[in-house]
Amino acid sequence: MLKGKTALVTGSTSGIGLGIAKALARQGANIVLNGFGDVAGPQAEVASLGVRVGYHAADMSKPDEIESMMAHAAQQFGRVDVLVNNAGIQHVSRIESFPVERWDAIIAINLSSAFHATRLALPAMLAAGWGRIINVASIHGLVGSAEKSAYVAAKHGVVGLTKVTALENATTGITCNAICPGWVLTPLVQKQVDAKAAALGVSNDEAVKLLLQEKEPSMQFTTPEEIGELAVFFCSPAGNNVRGVAWNMDGGWTAQ
């Protein structure tokens, strides 16, 4: 379905981003990876699906590095047809003790980076008459949780940006939608499981159970593979007129 197209997925060396990159690669899209940590492993995983794989190490908190990444992708692959704004970080603390530097980093990486990548991707998509912009928001783009002020503010911002991007391009072949997962067991969430286990003096399994019990009626994590398949749907012809939605994959979190 995506043969000959190129997808750039930010924060795709791990977790949800890597799951989305692999799902799009299975549909034939060439992939540009981005993110920190081990790069060779994710690159090999995606390449094994028979597509071309590129990588750019842009720090998504830095607009000039995002510009270099978008230019690099255009130079290597011709155009970015599918942009997945996924890179994100978390910090958990009450507002009065929230480190200012963490607030700034979360707003920059989780929200402003999506604006920068989107503004840089749109001209080529408009020229081609087709494009898909998928923003990995969160259930925290729709509801709040205590001690996550920066994350919740950024993710609500991402849902707002999604709607405006969709509206500004509503008469074109470019759609923009957000995915709003509940808990997904990635390194980002494992840190929160570890913190709970340490704070309560319980095992990893018990901490996982408590974490799910608090918010997610299904008592199960959403997987990066499931999220990847929703991204594939947004890229499919059936998604042509799906514009500006924030689609929950949250095990019933927000149905309560």
Task: Between 36 and 168, name the residue whose CB sits nearer to ligand NAD.
Answer: 36
d(CA 9, CA 32): 6
32 binds ligand NAD (CB under 6 A): no
Question: Could you give the CA distance from residue 177 to residue 69 in angstroms, rounded to a whole number?
Answer: 22
Q: Is 101 in the site for ligand NAD (CB under 6 A)?
A: no
Q: Residue 37 interacts with ligand NAD (CB under 6 A)?
A: yes
SS (H, E, C) 34-102: ECCCCCHHHHHHHHCCCCCEEEECCCCCCHHHHHHHHHHHHHHHCCCCEEEECCCCCCCECHHHCCHHH
List, in order, residues 6 or more apart from 121 with CB less than 8 Å away.
8, 70, 80, 83, 131, 133
SS3 (DSSP) at 219: coil
We find the least distance from the C-beta atom of residue 45 to ligand NAD, in angstroms, to be 13
The minimum distance between CB 77 and ligand NAD, in angstroms, equals 19
Binding pattern for the stretch 186-205 against ligand NAD, x by CB under 6 A and - elsewhere: xxxx----------------
Nearer to ligand NAD, 130 or 226 (CB): 226
Q: Cβ distance 249 to 231 under 8 Å?
A: no
The SS3 call for residue 31 is: strand
User: 27 or 186, CB closer to ligand NAD?
Assistant: 186
Q: Interaction with ligand NAD in 59-78: which residues (CB under 6 A)? A: 59-61
Among 8, 53, 106, 109, binds ligand NAD (CB under 6 A): 109
Identified catalytic residue from 55, 77, 103, 151: 151
C-alpha 139/C-alpha 129 separation (Å) is 31
151 is an active site residue:
yes
Binding site for ligand NAD (CB under 6 A): 11-17, 34-37, 59-61, 86-89, 109-110, 136, 138, 181, 183-184, 186-189
